[in-house]
Amino acid sequence: MLIALDMDGTLLNEDGVISPGNREAIVQAQSLGHIVAIASGRSYMDAERQLRLADLQCPVVSLNGAAAALPGGMIVASRPLDKEDLLPVLRWMNEIPELYYEIYTEDNVYVELNKRVRLEKLASMEAGEVPENVRWIIKLLVEKQFQQAAVTYVEHMDEIWSKKENVIYKALAFSFNLDLLKEASTRFASIPGLIITSSHENNLEINHHEATKGHGVTLLASHFGIAMEDVAVMGDSYNDLPMFKVAGHRIAMANAAPILKEMSDYITFSNNEDGVAEGIRYLLKK
């Protein structure tokens, strides 16, 4: 069996780490001959770093399916974006202070320094500047955003666009202004060959239309000679939907979006309660 695990909100707890309980369950599944893989919106570099901290080795479907790699980093499939098509929208976002965005290449994540500074200011607002419930949500979302990737900061994003060797696999936009996000989504949607997903209401994730977790997990299963009916997936958010649609076994976290729970065969515990470990126990009993 191939067991594909989302990371944020699924395998990682609220502290952004793999718990001992989840690690033990993964090792047990591997010892029984099952392939346990990661299927994440993160870059390979960042996902592999989390695995290394937990002393785990797993194949990784990264960047929402834009690339699939074996332990050690050998790429077995990839779907990069057409950089020239993206540039008009990226340049537009660059001029909008309220739109934070990231560019993902094969081995790095890039952010313009002034975008980071503005986002940090939002996270550090005083209680009197905004209602307390709004301030709490902003801080939580910003902390999660910074937790998700090891980022390289540049003075001007043109430094990245202008280098021919930099292949873009994913773009991410993040804002508390939902109208701006909607406009960004509309602009990206006008570009042929893209797919736009979201891991929460304040972000957009832009990939090649074939770069979905479903496509990446399918390619990984094919590499290992595993039928899709023997593929199990676990997730919590909307960008997990494509792999829920193709897998034979679907497990939603207790903290998952309602639509994933509706599609699931089993609802496990939350990501803060070793839900992955409980999900693996359920699968091993089948």
**Which residues form the catalytic set?**
6
Give the Cα separation of 255 and 10 in Å (integer).
8
Q: For strand 266-267 and strand 249-252, is the pairing parallel, antiparallel, or unpaired? A: parallel
- For the chain, the 3-state helix, strand and coil shares in percent, each to the nearest 5, are 40, 20, 35
Other beta carbons within 10 Å of 224: 14
- Which two three-digit tokens encode residue 50? 């989390």
Length, in residues, of the chain: 286
In what helix (H) or strand (E) does residue 133 lie, and over which residues does it extend? helix 132-147
**Count of beta carbons in the 10 Å neighbourhood of residue 30:** 15
* Burial of residue 81 (number of CB atoms within 10 Å: 0-12, 13-18, 19+): buried
Q: Are 225 and 1 in contact (CB under 8 A)?
A: no
Alpha-helical (H) ranges within 213-274 are 213-224, 241-246, 258-263
Q: How far is residue 58's CA from residue 249's CA, in Å, rounded to a whole number?
A: 19
Take residue 108 and report the two structure tokens written for it: 């790095």
Could you tell me if residue 274 is left (phi over 0), alpha (psi between -120 and 50 degrees) or otherwise beta? left
The encoded tokens of residue 192 equal 């042929």
